[in-house]
């Protein structure tokens, strides 16, 4: 049997490859420490679990969910947006429930991209921004991201002949994998650029609650004119330690929300309603969890920065996310250094080039690892240098 060309054209999925390498080592009886995947090591808060326990007993939640999300869930998302960012969105037309933001990112390509169309993609970004286009026959143009421009995706350098075929543009700040943050002025420029070139602007705000040193990430929807061209993805995964629960939402431009909802109604049957009820508790219940998480990750960040300096490795101090973006030593590229660390230290780090061409020369270290294992991993890496 022959698979579709779109499958053959996909690069190996980064995190599946990391899991495969880890399992190979473990099968050999080797103690492997993974700093490669951003999956929180801390449990989901008890009040969210309790809300789920109660919701799962409700018979009405056992039936097919709404394609677009329960009305109470969409209202809670709108209330959270208002409380958190001072942004007003209509829960009926400007909010859509997602089975995790990854699902929404992949499905928005079906709604907007035809074969041959172009999506502007961060030069270092979540791999689905690129692979989602491959799956629908689209093309990616990678916006350069360099340390000199603070890892802000340079959409203004896109050639005119590419812009003529462009339909969408992704940005994401705080950024995975670089941990960079964006200025309000950058968001204003992105909105103006999207309007000028008739682009759907998508801001992936998966790390909206994870900021350090007093920094609070912002929403692009806070900016004038954003809802004319933009939608934003929010996720409970990192903010509330709910990666396995698969619950998120999109908010913003009503036409884009409707188009994405149309795709979803033809492909999936919506998020389990009991999980939506648990997410309501996450968003509208006590928010101490986000403050506690930020404190944990900031402490780990400081540990990592000290250890990197001691090992002679360079990285910018992150102001958000759960990652540290590390320059590889002279004489290595991203893949060769990640391979060295895996083979000699039995530590997994994510090679930067897997996130796009601007990621070459870097590796990503995840802070979602218990303190003692994080320290041990960094000691092992230092020993290889």
pLDDT (tens place) for every residue of the chain, 385 residues total = 888 888 888 887 666 777 788 888 889 899 999 999 899 999 999 999 999 999 999 999 999 999 999 999 999 999 999 999 999 999 999 999 999 999 999 999 999 999 999 999 999 999 999 999 999 999 999 999 999 999 999 999 999 999 999 999 999 999 999 999 999 999 999 999 999 999 999 999 999 999 999 999 999 999 999 999 999 999 999 999 999 999 999 999 999 999 999 999 999 999 999 999 999 999 999 999 999 999 999 999 999 999 999 999 999 999 999 999 999 999 999 999 998 999 899 999 999 999 999 999 999 999 999 999 999 999 999 999 8
Query: Domain ends where: 229, 261, 284?
Result: 284
Question: Does residue 262 share a domain with residue 123?
Answer: yes
Can the peptide bond before residue 55 be classed as cis, meaning omega within 30 degrees of 0? no
CA nearest to 203, candidates 225, 179, 233, 180 = 233
Q: Is 365 exposed, middle or buried (0-12, 13-18, 19+ CB in 10 A)?
A: buried
DSSP letters of 212-275? -TT-----GGGSTTHHHHEEEEEEHHHHTT-GGG--EEEEE-HHHHHHHHHHHHHH-----HHH
The pLDDT value recorded for residue 14 is 66
Question: Does residue 61 share a domain with residue 39?
Answer: no
Question: Does residue 258 share a domain with residue 122?
Answer: yes
The pLDDT value recorded for residue 99 is 98
Question: Does residue 117 share a domain with residue 55?
Answer: yes
Query: Domain ends where: 284, 312, 339?
Result: 284
Question: Does residue 276 share a domain with residue 163?
Answer: yes
Question: Does residue 61 share a domain with residue 32?
Answer: no
CATH number of the domain where residue 124 is located: 3.40.640.10
Maximal CA-CA distance, the chain: 61
Query: Domain ends where: 258, 284, 310?
Result: 284
Range of the domain at 309: 5-43+288-384
CATH number of the domain where residue 327 is located: 3.90.1150.10
Question: Does residue 67 share a domain with residue 115?
Answer: yes
Question: Does residue 51 share a domain with residue 155?
Answer: yes
Question: Does residue 186 share a domain with residue 122?
Answer: yes
Question: Does residue 279 share a domain with residue 376?
Answer: no
Question: Does residue 100 share a domain with residue 72?
Answer: yes
Distances (CA, A) of 252 to 85, 147, 191, 271: 13, 30, 13, 19
Question: Does residue 228 share a domain with residue 156?
Answer: yes
* Number of domains forming the structure of the chain: 2
């Amino acid at each position: 049997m022959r698979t579709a060309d779109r499958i053959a054209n996909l690069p190996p999925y980064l995190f599946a490859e990391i899991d495969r390498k880890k399992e190979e080592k473990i099968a050999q009886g080797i103690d492997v420490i993974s700093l490669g995947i951003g999956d929180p090591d801390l449990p989901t808060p008890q009040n969210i679990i309790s809300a789920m326990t109660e919701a799962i007993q409700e018979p009405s939640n056992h039936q097919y969910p709404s394609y677009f999300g329960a009305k109470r869930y969409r209202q809670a998302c709108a209330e959270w947006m208002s409380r958190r960012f001072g942004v007003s969105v209509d829960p009926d037309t400007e909010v859509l429930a997602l089975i995790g933001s990854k699902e929404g990112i992949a499905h928005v390509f079906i709604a907007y991209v035809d074969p041959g169309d172009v999506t502007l993609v961060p030069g270092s970004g979540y791999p689905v921004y690129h692979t989602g286009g491959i799956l629908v026959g689209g093309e990616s143009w990678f916006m350069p991201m360099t340390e000199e421009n603070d890892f802000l995706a340079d959409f203004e350098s896109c050639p005119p002949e590419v812009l003529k075929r462009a339909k969408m543009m992704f940005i994401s700040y705080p950024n995975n994998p670089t941990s960079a943050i964006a200025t309000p002025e950058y968001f204003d420029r992105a909105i103006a650029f999207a309007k000028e070139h008739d682009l759907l602007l998508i801001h992936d705000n998966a790390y909206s609650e994870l900021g350090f040193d007093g920094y609070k990430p912002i929403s692009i929807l806070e900016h004038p004119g954003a809802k004319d061209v933009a939608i934003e993805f929010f996720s409970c995964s990192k903010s509330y330690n709910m990666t396995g629960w698969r619950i998120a939402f999109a908010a913003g431009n009503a036409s884009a929300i409707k188009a994405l909802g149309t795709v979803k109604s033809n492909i999936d049957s919506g998020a389990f309603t009991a999980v939506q009820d648990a997410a309501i508790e996450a968003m509208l219940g006590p928010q101490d969890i986000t403050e506690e998480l930020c404190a944990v990750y900031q402490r780990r960040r400081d540990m990592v920065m000290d250890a990197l300096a001691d090992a002679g490795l360079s990285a910018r101090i992150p102001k958000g996310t759960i990652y540290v973006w590390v320059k590889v030593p002279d004489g290595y590229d991203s893949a060769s250094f990640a391979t060295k660390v895996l083979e000699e230290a039995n530590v997994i780090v994510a090679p930067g080039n897997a996130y796009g061409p601007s990621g070459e020369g870097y590796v990503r270290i995840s802070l979602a690892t218990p303190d003692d294992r994080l320290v041990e991993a960094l000691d092992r890496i230092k020993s290889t240098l």
